[in-house]
Amino acid sequence: MKRFFLHVAGFFLLCLPLSGCTFSLPKDVVPLDFSDPCPKWTLAQLQKKTSYFDHNTDTFTLECALDLLRHSKRAPIHGTSSGARICFLLADRIYDDPIRRERFASEGVHWAEIALAGNGQEDGDVYYYLAVNLGISVKERMTLALKNLNRLVSSLEIAIERSPDVNYAGPYRVLGMLYLKAPPWPMGIGDGDRALELLTEALLRYPEHPKNHIFYAQALWEVEGEEKKEEIKKHLEEGLMLMNQEHWKSAKDRWMKDLNHVAEEAGIEIPGYAESE
């Protein structure tokens, strides 16, 4: 079960709380190579822009923002979720290079830790982006993931309490899938009923997000099975319809993999599916 687990990334070289101090980065960060000059943002400008970054933000913009953070000195932005959010958005769009994906996510953990060491302890977004980066960074490290599972759960629970709507109810969605895919007791925390409860809440809060439909359909199949097949089909069709909208098209290719998996497992044919691939 190599999904959505946590690790503690060894140790983090955090900046001492001195004015003008530069943050030390992990040694294996992804090199950034720009063919065009980056915008000349100030850190204050970047902090405002980061709150609008999402799956539609182009990679060049995200990498320019990350480069500015890497070369920055202590500033208010370092107490926010900005760095962890940027790294997650970069990692989340990479599927053909797992090493690069993992390194972006590991750096995201680093920035979340910096925020928590500063002024970010009350910011639920920091805990959410800590959790999702951790999940990606240990996806292929089963022992380490299981060892640190409790921290992942606690981070997502804090995010639900403080920032339940971040990333379209992301804390509910991610924690729900964690309960769905984790081994059941006594090996793990797996709990299908709890998964359905959390994924139902994500869907109720943001029915316009395709993954809320897809993951809810997956939970219905794995928990309820054949008796919910019509409802499962309805949510997969809704997820596909949403992904065909302009707002979600940039993420469609990778999210279609999740939809396809659920449809194949449940033996469901989705009208219009072949044309959408």
Residue 157, C-beta contacts closer than 8 angstroms, at least 6 positions apart: 171, 175
Please give the mean pLDDT across all residues of the chain.
Answer: 87
pLDDT > 80? residue 60: yes
The CA-based diameter of the chain, rounded to the nearest angstrom, is: 62
How confident is the model at residue 139, as a pLDDT? 73
What residue spans define the domains of the chain? 1-13+46-163, 176-277
How confident is the model at residue 24, as a pLDDT? 67
For residues 102 and 100, give the distance between their C-alpha atoms in angstroms, rounded to a whole number.
5
List pLDDT tens digits, range 176-189. 999 999 888 877 78
The whole-number average pLDDT for the span 10-18 is 30
How confident is the model at residue 69, as a pLDDT? 96
The CATH number assigned to the domain with range 176-277 reads 1.25.40
How confident is the model at residue 21, as a pLDDT? 42
DSSP label at 73? B
For residues 41 and 58, give the distance between their C-alpha atoms in angstroms, rounded to a whole number.
16
Q: Are 137 and 105 in contact (CB under 8 A)?
A: yes
How confident is the model at residue 167, as a pLDDT? 97
How confident is the model at residue 106, as a pLDDT? 93
How confident is the model at residue 4, as a pLDDT? 36
